[in-house]
């Protein structure tokens, strides 16, 4: 165990999530009817489905709810909350397993979430849902396989799907889009693989599938997609049944793929694009967070990347080193800034950037705790970050460390 | 966190210092200027020093535009010179500050339209074949200082000067108007503290917050501002141009 490395950030609370401290890519804050503030956390893998943590006083986090997955052949890596409804993503470990899809929960009583409905995306070529976005109470935007979608490549199964949940007890598909050439029967040629990997390994890179879809109520006609090796897409979704490409930008190759998040900063004419590190010990270095000039949304231009600490030092710390995801400026009880970017960078911890001059982003704060006990790797692996409207930062370790709560002194 | 900022207008240095334009590190710029307040020019393309008895800063105030000889001599129309003024102000605003750029666009459009309107309604001095035209009153419009950083502390024992940041400052009739464009951003404690100090303690500063929905209308929200800002011709006998006369007489080297 090492020491905390930090600058302008202070640890104020921590929870090992009752011994199940592997945190996935989903965190969302609920303002409960009784005044409590409940942070909902997706787990990296089974046996736990999701945890609810009372963070009304963020210094004394208390787990008030922890649920089990139906079986151990699945994971619920992603979740979102709007009001008292939570959407949870279900991804299965083998194609064709039946639990693939999403589930909506009524969390008005946070100690006792009740299932409202399930929406199945199970099928012979589907692993279900990896990530979802649900911030308007009307539509879930998700990366999922579908019963009727046959990809040309087995890892290209998770496409962009829009699910209408205005009647949460009866979700229905409103639209879908996929990278042209990835579906069996497409007229387009299949895309060239960036770094080919064996076909029998379902997880991992070498994929033209969706990771994150970000859609903001202030601009409901635009979807911002991180399409893994396909790069970043902006879609016009004014007609949800017929999404159309506005523009596309990809640094792959020569850069090694896996675009994760595409986050617009509307008042700046900028877009933040993260490429997720997916291999330990620097095997896929460099995985960068890009800053794009998006003043002309049809001509995206990279102008900088968020600076990271020295690679020669961090690849030796263990686990992954590089970009993953960022706090996404979502509506609700959430920090919103188009100048300050807060990101999770695996063993480089949580890092805060000042983007006032987007040509020269500056790291103004960071927090890197020591590697947690019982982790698969010796270093921290910050996997997810959420910042509330008071500037309190919630972050999760991928393997064992659970929840870390920090204040930014900026 | 406590701060002991000096007064903005102490008797020993009766000035408010504002750095403006493309400023990403005001403390560094201030260090680079390497001067004391009293020896600063009142106005340059990067700073303004507002004294207690100053009447305000207009587009016609000398110093901010740094007009080149070629610029001055190749422009023959008031409208062209006005556009050049606008362009010079816009050059000081980041391409990635879209609401601020929009605000300034609407402000310059407003002043131009207002000047034309005044000609019709109030018959301000100036007509064809006179020394100046009616349109020249446009340069009496108040000078916007965008991306304004107001010096809070410059004590010698302070490691770095501290600044409060607002979107635009106007200096109008011995008052400062701080314009804040509301964008929904979560305030950062450090910036908020300095702004609060500025707003609370500055003796002649008024704050105008412009809601996002007003900016979305695409018009300058004149009704939110004091009359003095929109009636910029009052108390003036005739207009001045933005380039000082000595520059007109200057010959190229």
A335 touches chain B (CB under 8 A): yes
Q: Which of A340, A335, A263 is nearest to A29 (CA)?
A: A335
A219 touches chain B (CB under 8 A): no
Q: Which of A10, A29, A267 to mutate to test the interface with B (most CBs of B within 10 A)?
A: A267
Residues A275/A255, Cβ–Cβ less than 8 Å? yes
Rounded to whole angstroms, the Cα distance separating A66 from A76 reads 13
Query: From A389, which residue of chain B is nearest by alpha-carbon distance?
Result: B186
Both tokens of A264, joined, read 């617009």
Dihedral angle of Cα B217, B223, B224, B226, to the nearest 10 degrees: 150
- Residue B70 main-chain phi, psi, to 5 deg: -60, -40
The 3-state DSSP class for residue B28 equals helix
Q: What is the pLDDT of residue B1?
A: 35
* Chain A residues inside the 8 Å CB shell of B99: 267
Rounded to whole angstroms, the Cα distance separating B136 from B240 reads 7
The 3-state DSSP class for residue B189 equals helix
Q: What is the pLDDT of residue B68?
A: 87
Q: Does A335 sit within 8 Å of B94, measured CB to CB?
A: no
Q: Does A339 sit within 8 Å of B96, measured CB to CB?
A: no
Instruction: Give the Å distances, CA to CA, from B168 to A108, A201, A236, B148.
Output: 45, 56, 35, 6
Burial zone of A186 (CB within 10 Å; 0-12 exposed, 13-18 middle, 19+ buried): middle
* Chain B residues inside the 8 Å CB shell of A333: none
Q: Which of A206, A219, A116 is nearest to A154 (CA)?
A: A206
Q: Which H/E stretch holds residue A262?
A: strand A259-265
* Chain B residues inside the 8 Å CB shell of A266: 98
* Chain A residues inside the 8 Å CB shell of B97: 267-268
Angle at A121 between CA A115 and CA A127, to 5 degrees: 110
Backbone CA torsion sign across A74, A108, A336, B195: negative
User: pLDDT category, B3, cuts 50, 70, 90?
Assistant: very low
What's the ipTM? 0.91
Rounded to whole angstroms, the Cα distance separating A277 from A256 reads 9
Q: Which of B186, B187, B190 to mutate to test the interface with A (most CBs of A within 10 A)?
A: B186
Comparing A39 with B75, which gets the higher pLDDT? Answer: A39
Q: Which H/E stretch holds residue B216?
A: helix B212-216
pLDDT tens across A86-133, in order? 999 999 999 999 999 999 999 999 999 999 999 999 999 999 999 999
Rounded to whole angstroms, the Cα distance separating B225 from B221 reads 8
Q: Does B185 sit within 8 Å of A337, measured CB to CB?
A: yes
pLDDT tens across B117-160, in order? 887 776 666 655 567 788 899 999 999 999 999 998 655 566 78
pLDDT tens across A196-226, in order? 999 988 887 999 999 999 999 999 999 999 9
Query: From B94, which residue of chain A is nearest by alpha-carbon distance?
Result: A357
Q: Does A389 sit within 8 Å of B190, measured CB to CB?
A: no
Q: For residue B122, say if its preceding peptide bond is cis, omega within 30 degrees of 0.
A: no
Residues B180/B170, Cβ–Cβ less than 8 Å? no
A337 touches chain B (CB under 8 A): yes
Q: Which H/E stretch holds residue B38?
A: none
The DSSP letter of residue B7 is P
pLDDT value at B249 more than 90: no
Residue B188 is nearest to which of A270, A340, A357, comparing CB atoms?
Answer: A340
Rounded to whole angstroms, the Cα distance separating B198 from B195 reads 5
Q: Does A338 sit within 8 Å of B98, measured CB to CB?
A: no
The 3-state DSSP class for residue B77 equals coil
A270 touches chain B (CB under 8 A): yes
Residue A336 is nearest to which of B24, B99, B186, comparing CB atoms?
Answer: B186
Query: From B22, which residue of chain A is nearest by alpha-carbon distance?
Result: A357
pLDDT value at B247 more than 50: no
Q: Does A336 sit within 8 Å of B96, measured CB to CB?
A: no
The mean predicted confidence, pLDDT, of chain B is 85
Residues A3/A20, Cβ–Cβ less than 8 Å? no
Dihedral angle of Cα A108, A112, A116, A122, to the nearest 10 degrees: 130
pLDDT tens across B186-213, in order? 989 999 999 999 998 888 899 999 999 9
A357 touches chain B (CB under 8 A): yes
Query: From B184, which residue of chain A is nearest by alpha-carbon distance?
Result: A336
Distance of CA A192 to the CA centre of its chain: 25
Rounded to whole angstroms, the Cα distance separating A327 from B46 reads 35
Q: Which of A98-112, A286-300, A390-404, B14-28 has the lowest mean pLDDT?
A: B14-28
pLDDT value at A290 more than 60: yes
């Amino acid at each position: 165990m090492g020491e905390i490395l930090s600058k302008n950030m202070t640890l104020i609370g921590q929870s090992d999530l009752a011994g199940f401290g592997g945190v996935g890519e989903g965190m969302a804050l609920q303002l409960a009817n009784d005044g409590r503030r409940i942070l909902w956390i997706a787990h990296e893998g089974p046996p736990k489905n999701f945890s609810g943590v009372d963070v009304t006083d963020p210094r004394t986090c208390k787990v008030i709810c922890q649920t089990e997955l139906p079986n151990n052949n699945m994971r619920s890596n992603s979740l979102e909350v709007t009001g008292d409804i939570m959407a949870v993503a279900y991804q299965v470990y083998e194609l064709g397993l039946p639990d693939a899809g999403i589930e909506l929960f009524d969390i008005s009583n946070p100690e006792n979430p009740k299932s409202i409905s399930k929406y199945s995306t199970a099928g012979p070529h589907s692993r279900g849902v990896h990530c979802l976005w649900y911030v308007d109470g009307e539509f879930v935007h998700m990366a999922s396989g579908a019963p009727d979608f046959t990809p040309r490549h087995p890892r290209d199964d998770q496409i962009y799907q829009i699910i209408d949940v205005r009647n949460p007890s009866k979700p229905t598909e409103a639209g879908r889009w996929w990278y042209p050439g990835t579906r069996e029967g497409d007229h387009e040629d299949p895309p060239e693989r960036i770094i080919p990997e064996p076909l029998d390994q379902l997880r991992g890179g070498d994929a033209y599938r969706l990771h994150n879809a970000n859609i903001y109520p202030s601009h409901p006609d635009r979807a911002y997609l991180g399409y893994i090796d396909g790069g970043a897409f902006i879609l016009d979704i004014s007609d949800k049944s017929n999404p159309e490409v506005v523009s596309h930008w990809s640094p792959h190759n020569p850069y090694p793929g896996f675009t994760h998040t595409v986050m617009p900063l509307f008042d700046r004419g900028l877009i933040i694009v993260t490429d997720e590190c997916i291999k330990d010990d620097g095997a896929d270095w460099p995985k960068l967070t890009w800053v794009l000039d998006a003043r002309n949304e049809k001509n995206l231009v990279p102008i900088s990347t968020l600076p990271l600490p020295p690679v020669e030092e961090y690849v030796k710390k263990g686990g992954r080193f590089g970009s993953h995801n960022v706090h996404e400026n979502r509506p609700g009880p959430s920090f919103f800034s188009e100048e300050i970017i807060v990101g999770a960078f695996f063993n480089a911890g949580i890092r805060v950037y000042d983007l006032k001059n987007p040509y020269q982003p500056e790291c103004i704060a960071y927090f890197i705790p020591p590697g947690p006990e019982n982790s698969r790797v010796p270093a921290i692996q910050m996997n997810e970050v959420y910042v509330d409207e008071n500037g309190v930062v919630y972050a999760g370790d991928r393997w064992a460390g659970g929840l870390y709560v920090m204040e930014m002194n900026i | 966190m406590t701060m002991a900022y000096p007064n903005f207008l102490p008797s020993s240095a009766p000035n408010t210092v504002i750095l403006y334009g493309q400023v990403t590190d005001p403390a560094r710029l201030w260090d680079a200027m390497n001067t004391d307040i009293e020896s600063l020019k009142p106005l340059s393309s990067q700073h303004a020093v507002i004294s207690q008895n100053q009447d305000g800063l207009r587009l016609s105030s000398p110093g901010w535009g740094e007009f080149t000889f070629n610029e001055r001599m190749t422009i023959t129309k008031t409208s062209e010179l006005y556009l050049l003024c606008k362009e010079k102000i816009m050059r000081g605003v980041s391409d990635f500050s879209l609401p601020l750029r929009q605000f300034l666009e609407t402000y310059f459009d407003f002043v131009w339209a207002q000047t034309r309107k005044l000609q019709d309604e109030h018959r301000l001095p100036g007509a064809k074949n006179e020394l100046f035209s009616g349109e020249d009153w446009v340069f009496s419009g108040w000078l916007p200082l965008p991306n304004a950083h107001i010096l809070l502390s410059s004590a010698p024992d302070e490691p770095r000067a501290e600044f409060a940041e607002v979107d635009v400052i106007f200096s109008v009739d011995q008052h400062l108007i701080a314009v804040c464009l509301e964008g929904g951003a979560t305030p950062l404690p450090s910036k908020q503290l300095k702004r609060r100090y500025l707003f609370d303690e500055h003796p002649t500063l008024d704050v105008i917050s412009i809601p996002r929905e007003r900016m979305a209308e695409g018009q300058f929200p004149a009704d939110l501002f004091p009359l003095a800002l929109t009636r910029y011709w009052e108390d003036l006998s005739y207009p001045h141009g933005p380039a000082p006369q000595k520059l007109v007489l200057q010959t190229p080297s």
